[in-house]
Amino acid sequence: MNAEKLINILSEFKCDQKLDRVIVKNIEMDHREITNEAMFICIKGYTVDGHQFAQAAVDNGASLIVSEKELNVSVPVVIVPDTSRALAQLANAFYQHPSADLKVIGVTGTNGKTSVTHIIDEIHRYVSLKTALIGTLQMVIEDQNYPVKNTTPDALFLQKNLRKMVDENVDVVTMEVSSHALDIGRVHGVDVDIAVFTNLSQDHLDYHQSMDHYLYAKSLLFSQLGNSLNQKKAKYAIINLDDSNADFLIKATAQPILTYGVKNEATFQATEIEWKSAGVTFNMNTPEGVIAIHSKLMGMFSVYNILAAAAAAYASGIALTDIQTVLNQTTGVKGRFQPVEHQQDFSVIIDYAHTPDSLENVLSTIQRFCQGDIHVVVGCGGDRDRRKRPLMAEVACQYADYAIFTSDNPRSESPQAIIDDMVAGISSQNYQIQIDRKNAIQQAIQRARKDDVVLIAGKGHETYQIVGDEVLDFDDEKAALEFLNE
Ligand SMILES: CC(=O)N[C@H]1[C@@H](OP(=O)(O)OP(=O)(O)OC[C@H]2O[C@@H](n3ccc(=O)[nH]c3=O)[C@H](O)[C@@H]2O)O[C@H](CO)[C@@H](O)[C@@H]1O[C@H](C)C(=O)N[C@@H](C)C(=O)N[C@H](CCC(=O)O)C(=O)O
Ligand SMILES: Nc1ncnc2c1ncn2[C@@H]1O[C@H](COP(=O)(O)OP(=O)(O)OP(=O)(O)O)[C@@H](O)[C@H]1O
Ligand SMILES: N[C@H](CCC[C@H](N)C(=O)O)C(=O)O
Ligand SMILES: [Mg+2]
Quote the ligand 1 centre to 456 CA distance (angstroms). 28
The SS3 of residue 116 is helix
Whether the CB-CB separation of 141 and 170 falls below 8 Å is answered with yes
Q: Count CB atoms within 10 A of the CB of residue 353.
A: 26
Q: Is 118 in the pocket of ligand 3 (CB under 6 A)?
A: no
Query: Which atom belonging to ligand 2 lies closest to the Cα atom of 135?
Result: 27
Q: Where are the domains of the chain?
A: 3-94, 98-329, 338-484
Give the helix ranges, DSSP H, for 140-272: 155-167, 179-184, 205-208, 211-223, 246-252
| Predicted confidence (pLDDT) per residue in 295-353, tens digit | 999 989 999 999 999 999 999 999 999 999 999 999 989 999 999 988 899 999 999 99
- Confidence at 43, pLDDT banded by 50, 70, 90: very high
The answer, yes or no, to whether any atom of ligand 1 lies below 6 A from the CB of 474, is no
Q: How would you classify the pairing of strands 338-339 and 347-351?
A: antiparallel
Q: Which residues contact 42 (CB under 8 A, 6 or more apart)?
A: 49, 50, 51, 53, 54, 65, 66, 67, 68, 71, 83
Superfamily (CATH) of domain 98-329 = Mur-like, catalytic domain (3.40.1190.10)
Is the CB–ligand 2 distance for residue 176 below 6 Å? yes
Is 85 annotated to bind ligand?
A: no
pLDDT surpasses 90 at 442: yes
Q: How far apart are CA 418 and CA 206, in angstroms?
A: 14
Whether pTM exceeds 0.80: yes
pLDDT of residue 206: 76
Q: Which CATH architecture has domain 3-94?
A: 3-Layer(aba) Sandwich (3.40)
d(CA 186, CA 473): 29
Tell me how far apart the alpha carbons of residues 346 and 112 are, in angstroms, rounded to a whole number: 27
State the Cα–Cα distance between residues 200 and 179, nearest whole angstrom: 11
Q: Determine the average pLDDT of the residues in 410-426.
A: 97
**How far is the C-alpha of 330 from the C-alpha of 82, rounded, in Å?**
43
Output the pLDDT for position 231: 65
114 is in an annotated binding site: yes
pLDDT the model gives residue 302 = 95
Q: Write out the CATH class of domain 338-484.
A: alpha beta
